[in-house]
Amino acid sequence: MANIFVTSVIAVALPVVALIGGSIVMAHVAPREAAPVKPRLLSRWLGYSPKEVHDYWSAFQRPGLEAERRFLKVDLVFPFLYGAAFLGSMLLLRAALKWSFSPAIPIATVATMMVADWTENLVHLAYISKPLNPEAGVDNLQGSWIVLASTATSVKWVLISASVIAILLLVIILLARNAH
């Protein structure tokens, strides 16, 4: 039973440490200014419109925009950290439960999550790497790319949430199965 408990703690702790610890490290490696518009684009679960993107990035002064650019570049590494943590947790629980479901399911989930994160970051990096003209308005944006980034943001958050729920359910099943 002690082994099951340790496995459960590790399975839950891996993604938590990766997400929280990774965010702390990123804040030190690529510090950002307070966002002039809340919430930050990449944390909007329901996505965002081209107008919201234009308003968001146009509100930054030059140094803040440079900090955001640095942050987005560093953020391209973050999916490797949390992706490994989520996948490790799911595969650890799969082994502990002695289940034979295909590892392709968690692998595909985590890979999609990571690709979605990279997609949103790369689209925003491309947009803010060009000189921003706040007066140009939304017409300066390529709407289809913003829709892609917005969709990627939503997909990423849905998959992170689904992965957290799946890990918690698998831990509950593991503990319940070995409660006697």
* Residue pLDDT, tens place only, 67-76: 888 889 999 9
CA distances from residue 28 to 23, 24, 25, 65, 116 in whole angstroms, order as listed: 9, 7, 5, 17, 24
Q: How confident is the model at residue 35 (pLDDT cuts 50, 70, 90)?
A: low
Q: Using alpha carbons, select from 158, 154, 160, 149 the residue that is nearest to residue 122.
A: 149
B/e letters for 124-143, b = 16+ CB within 10 Å, e = fewer, are: bbebbeeebeeeeeeeebee
What confidence tens digit (pLDDT) does each residue in 158-176 have? 999 999 999 999 999 999 9
Higher pLDDT, 169 or 50: 169
Q: How confident is the model at residue 178 (pLDDT cuts 50, 70, 90)?
A: confident
- Helical residues (DSSP H) of 32-140, grouped into ranges: 50-58, 62-74, 78-97, 104-129
Domain segments of the chain: what residues? Answer: 2-177
What confidence tens digit (pLDDT) does each residue in 98-148 have? 988 789 999 999 999 999 999 999 998 988 877 655 555 555 567 788 889
Pair of tokens at residue 97:
């439960």
What does the pLDDT read at residue 131? 63
What does the pLDDT read at residue 135? 57
What confidence tens digit (pLDDT) does each residue in 80-95 have? 999 999 999 999 999 9
Q: What is the mean pLDDT of residues 10-28?
A: 94
Q: Mean pLDDT score of the chain, rounded to an integer?
A: 87
What does the pLDDT read at residue 57? 80
Give the phi and the psi of residue 98 in degrees, each rounded to 5.
Answer: 55, 40
